[in-house]
Amino acid sequence: MPITDYRIVHEVPGRLRVRIPSMGEPGLEASFIESWIDAAASVTDVRANRAARSLVIEYRHQDGARARVLHRLESFSAESTPGFSEDGIREAEVAPMISTALTLAVLPFLTPRMQRVLTFVNVGATLVKGADTLVNQGIRVEVLDALAVGLAAANGEVYTANITDLLLDLGEFLEHRTSRQSDRLLRRLLRPEPAMAWVERDGELVQVAGDEVRTGEILVVGVGETVPVDGRVVEGIALVNQAAVTGEDVPVRKEARMRVIAGSTLVDGRIRIEATQVGEDTTTARVSRFIQDSLSRQSDTQRLADRLADKRVYLTLVTGGIVYALTRDLTRLQSVFLVDYSCALKLGTPVAFKSGMYRAAAHGVLMKGGEAIEHLAEVDTVVFDKTGTLTQSDLVVTDVVVLSRNTRWSEEDLLALVASVEEHASHPVARAVVEAAKERDLQHISHGEIDYLVAHGMAADVKGGRIFVGSRHYLEEHLRIRFGGYNKHIARLEDEGKTLLYVGNQDGPVGLIGLRDTMREEAHDTLQRLRVLGIERLVMITGDRRNKAKALAAELGIDQVYAEMRPEEKAGVIQQFQDAGRKVAFVGDGVNDGPALVAAQVGIAMPRGADIARATADIVLMDDRLDAVADARELARRTMRMIRGNFNAAVGINTGILGGAVVGWLSPVASAVLHNGTTIGILLNALRGVRLSDDPDQTIKHQLVRFKDALAE
């Protein structure tokens, strides 16, 4: 149901405090409204206060953002709200603590008989929970808690029973609150940012958030704008960068009836698109759902922690039985039963994993679940697909070839002329040619008006005739300028993985310009850092010729090279290493890297990689920098080290508490306080997370402060 009764009670640029009198009514739960606003493209933070029926919204202070936020609020829909309501959960957790506090307040005014009756009524939920767990799940920590509280109540120790029950409820509340908040913070950080869209509505062009576009609507996309939905072109011609779909950074031509994918960017032209898949049905949304699903995956470490925690319950139960058989001391038995290994072991590990995922995401690395962290920490071999990983996707001119029948042209003449024409275009090939001419300090050559055929090429009148620059298809099919006599030149350049720009005039072919991506500046240092971080073997896979591949490998210090490889052979190389007992991570970005990313223990996709590569990878780099691979490895190792430390601390401290309870040094209340304090301490340490060895990032400190503030609310 829409929200129309809101009132703005305070406002500064980029921040609104809104009072909503109907908040809390059926269908208008605070968490639903909070999640709905939180998903808006312009919103950076939102906090709901259910008691005050108010909402604090922080947003990017830019043109139209305030209006879009308020429109989002007015169009609230509980059915479309991401996430789930926590209002009922929170009330269910807080209510027992309030009930126990009231019980403790009235106990001094009651007779002993009434005290015992009220105590059993108050702790009844704990007793029922323990009985239900015993019947349906067997012996778990809930059974021990129920025994401890029930024995105290039966023995007339009403204050001990109620205080112990209060501590158990408080510990459970803090544990669940911490776990939920870590989930929410992580999901918020990983939330895809919807692109804005210009939509034709009622004869006008209006701007809306990309996730508000409806199927069948017509969108207009111009230069530099991101396609917000999956759809088909209905009018216009454009060059579209589909790096998010194919991994190929060279723009492709799109015209009527061709398909375009959400996340693509227009580099030239203008098109009208009919939306065919919107909102949760777009490619990017499907990837986002995959990420959300991955948060619930259990790693081997988590499963091991759960098994050991369950076994420790039997240890506590048996120890308590032995203590009572020897001492007949119910108080000592209660103290033993309140020693719980389970919470610290079961909750500390997933919170540590989520903290590690959050820390990694803040450094531009998306870890899809604790299993990805665990496996990356164990990897001893890293295999790189060369293109787009060890090399940059940005193009540079490598070859300027003057064809034989045009001997009056020099390389400088050809490059200067092509750059003078291409400077009127904005696509990556044009930028690379213009930059190459500037680096050689070549002079601009005067020419006539430019004729530009989008996604094909350009033509201009120059001294001595008319020059044509563009694709082979453009020159051969449209202009009948044949390059068949130079197939050897063309094949050589294409075999080296270069993109070609064809040049001709009225007399025929003039020349070729070859372009290629370049090695990343950080590649060498990243590989050396990976060795320091325990990687034993570095491998490169490429389709380049063997001599060229070996030269690059020698420059980077790579151990092994697989050259002249077809895309479908990559997964086989990964399997060979795994059959030899190696634990392999594969780094790639292309649409053909999917099988290799799946085959490896850890698949790592570059940010400009194909959509399928990001969907199948265990780790996605959100920043276009290779050293993020080393960051991910370091964070994974440190996270696993912290998990082992927390595990040992939980076992060691609780064993000490158990010993104190066995010898009678600890009362039931003291045992409960120490146990819950240990659990909360381990959770806070896990939540604190790990740092890179040279981490200067103050943003993380700010996020943790905000997180603690959110916990306090």
> Active site residue: 310, 385, 544, 618, which one?
385
Most confident of 284-288, 505-509, 519-523, 578-582: 578-582
Q: What is the mean pLDDT of residues 449-464?
A: 80
Angle at 499 between CA 493 and CA 500, to 5 degrees: 75
Q: Quick one: pLDDT at residue 333?
A: 78
Q: Of 520, 499, 535, which is closest to residue 621 (Cα–Cα)?
A: 520
**Euclidean distance between the first and the last CA atom of the chain, given in angstroms as a whole number:** 27
Catalytic, 709? Answer no
More confident residue, 644 or 426: 644
Q: Is the pLDDT of residue 71 over 70?
A: yes
Q: Is the pLDDT of residue 83 over 60?
A: no
Q: What is the mean pLDDT of residues 249-254?
A: 74
Structure tokens at 520: 């990343």
Q: Quick one: pLDDT at residue 346?
A: 67
Q: How far is CA 464 from CA 421, 460, 682, 705, in A?
A: 15, 11, 79, 69
Q: What is the pLDDT of residues 607-628, one digit of tens each?
A: 766 555 666 778 888 777 889 9
Most confident of 154-168, 218-232, 353-367: 218-232
Q: Is the pLDDT of residue 236 over 70?
A: yes
Q: What is the pLDDT of residues 367-426, one digit of tens each?
A: 877 788 889 999 999 999 887 788 876 788 999 998 866 557 788 988 999 999 888 877
Q: Of 450, 440, 451, which is closest to residue 416 (Cα–Cα)?
A: 440
The radius of gyration of the chain from alpha carbons, rounded to an integer in Å, stands at 32
Do residues 543 and 497 touch, judged by C-beta distance below 8 A?
yes
Burial class (CB in 10 A: 0-12, 13-18, 19+), 549: buried
Q: How far apart are CA 478 and CA 455, in angstroms?
A: 13
The amino acid at 198: W
Q: At what angle do helices 342-362 and 158-190 cross, to 10 degrees?
A: 20
SS3 state of residue 617: coil
pLDDT band at 695 (very low <50, low <70, confident <90, very high): low
The amino acid at 41: A
Q: Quick one: pLDDT at residue 555?
A: 85
Q: Quick one: pLDDT at residue 80?
A: 45
More confident residue, 652 or 304: 652
Q: Which residues pair with 334 in a beta bridge?
A: none
Question: Kind of pairing, strands 465-470 and 457-462?
Answer: antiparallel
Do residues 533 and 634 touch, judged by C-beta distance below 8 A?
yes
Q: How far apart are CA 656 and CA 654, in angstroms?
A: 5
Q: How far apart are CA 418 and CA 447, in angstroms?
A: 11
Q: How far apart are CA 90 and CA 98, in angstroms?
A: 12
Burial class (CB in 10 A: 0-12, 13-18, 19+), 376: buried
Q: What is the pLDDT of residues 349-383, one digit of tens each?
A: 777 787 787 778 777 787 877 788 889 999 999 99
Within 607-681, strands assigned E span: 619-621
More confident residue, 298 or 678: 678
Q: What is the DSSP string of 624-674?
A: S-THHHHHHHHHHHHHHHHHHHHHHHHHHHHHHHHHHHHTT-S-HHHHHHH
Residues 6+ apart with CB under 8 A from 181: 707, 710, 711
Q: Quick one: pLDDT at residue 321?
A: 83
What are the chain's domains?
7-84 (3.30.70.100), 90-186+297-353+638-712 (no CATH), 196-289 (2.70.150.10), 392-518 (3.40.1110.10)
Q: Quick one: pLDDT at residue 85?
A: 43
Q: Quick one: pLDDT at residue 610?
A: 58
Q: Which residues pair with 604 in a beta bridge?
A: 587, 619
Do residues 251 and 268 touch, judged by C-beta distance below 8 A?
yes
When mean pLDDT is compared across 282-296, 419-433, 516-530, the lowest value belongs to 282-296
Q: How far apart are CA 126 and CA 165, in angstroms?
A: 8
Q: How far is CA 202 from CA 52, 206, 218, 219, 273, in A?
A: 39, 9, 11, 13, 16
Q: Is the pLDDT of residue 75 over 80?
A: no
pLDDT band at 576 (very low <50, low <70, confident <90, very high): very high
Q: Is the pLDDT of residue 140 over 60?
A: yes
Do residues 538 and 555 touch, judged by C-beta distance below 8 A?
no
SS3 state of residue 458: strand
Q: Is the pLDDT of residue 637 over 80?
A: yes
More confident residue, 580 or 363: 580
Residues 6+ apart with CB under 8 A from 414: 400, 402, 503, 510, 511, 513
Burial class (CB in 10 A: 0-12, 13-18, 19+), 413: middle
Q: What is the mean pLDDT of residues 690-713?
A: 46
The amino acid at 575: Q
The amino acid at 686: A
Q: What is the pLDDT of residues 544-567, one digit of tens each?
A: 777 777 878 888 999 999 988 876
SS3 state of residue 305: helix
Q: How far is CA 441 from CA 416, 432, 444, in A?
A: 9, 14, 9
Q: Quick one: pLDDT at residue 299?
A: 55
This prediction has a pTM of 0.62
Q: How far is CA 63 from CA 14, 42, 59, in A?
A: 11, 10, 11
Q: How far apart are CA 197 and CA 209, in angstroms?
A: 6
Q: Quick one: pLDDT at residue 405?
A: 64
Q: What is the mean pLDDT of residues 517-531?
A: 89
Q: Which residues pair with 531 in a beta bridge?
A: none
Q: Is the pLDDT of residue 225 over 50?
A: yes
What value does the mean pLDDT of the chain take? 78
Q: Quick one: pLDDT at residue 89?
A: 43
